[in-house]
Amino acid sequence: MRIDPKEIPTGKLHGLMLGTIGPRPIAFASTVDQTGNVNLSPFSFFNVFSANPPILVFSPARRVRDNTTKHTLENALETKEVVINIVSYDIVEQMSLASTEYAQGVNEFIKSGLTALDSEMVKPPRVAESIAAYECKVNEVISLGEEGGAGNLIICEVVLMHLKEEILDENGMPDPVKTDLVGRMGGDWYCRANGEALFELPKPNKNLGIGYDQIPAVIRNSVVLSGNNLGRLGNIEKLPDADAVSAFGTRSEIEEIKLRFKNDPESMEYHLHTMAQDFLRKNELENAWLTLLQTN
pTM: 0.84
Q: Check residue 234 and give its pLDDT.
A: 92
- d(CA 156, CA 163) in angstroms, rounded, equals 18
What are φ and ψ of residue 214, in 5° steps? Answer: -95, 0
> Residue ranges of the domains in the chain?
10-194, 217-293
DSSP 3-state of 5: helix
Q: Check residue 205 and give its pLDDT.
A: 64
- CA atoms within 13 Å, Cβ hemisphere of 277: 16
149 vs 270 pLDDT, higher one: 270
- Helix intervals (H) in the chain: 10-20, 71-79, 92-98, 108-112, 176-179, 217-220, 227-233, 242-248, 252-260, 265-281, 285-292
β-strand pairing of 27-32 with 81-86: antiparallel
> Of 90, 98, 91, 118, whose CA–CA distance to 29 is shortest?
98
- d(CA 124, CA 40) in angstroms, rounded, equals 9
Q: What are 189-244's pLDDT values in tens digits?
A: 999 999 888 888 777 766 688 899 999 999 999 999 999 999 999 989 899 999 99
CATH 2.30.110.10 for domain 10-194, yes or no, is yes
Q: Check residue 200 and give its pLDDT.
A: 80
Q: Is the dihedral of CA 262, 263, 269, 272 positive or negative?
A: negative
Q: Check residue 186 and give its pLDDT.
A: 92
Q: What are 170-197's pLDDT values in tens digits?
A: 999 999 999 999 999 999 999 999 988 8
Q: Check residue 9 and give its pLDDT.
A: 92
CB contact at 8 A, 117 and 127:
yes
The mean pLDDT value for 28-45 works out to 94
Q: Check residue 283 and give its pLDDT.
A: 87
Q: Check residue 249 and give its pLDDT.
A: 92
Q: Check residue 115 and give its pLDDT.
A: 94
∠8-151-53 over CA atoms, to 5°?
A: 140
pLDDT at 56 over 70: yes
User: Where does the pLDDT of residue 273 fall: very low under 50, low under 70, confident under 90, or very high at 90 and above?
Assistant: very high
Q: What are 87-141's pLDDT values in tens digits?
A: 999 999 999 999 988 888 889 999 999 999 999 999 999 999 999 999 999 999 9
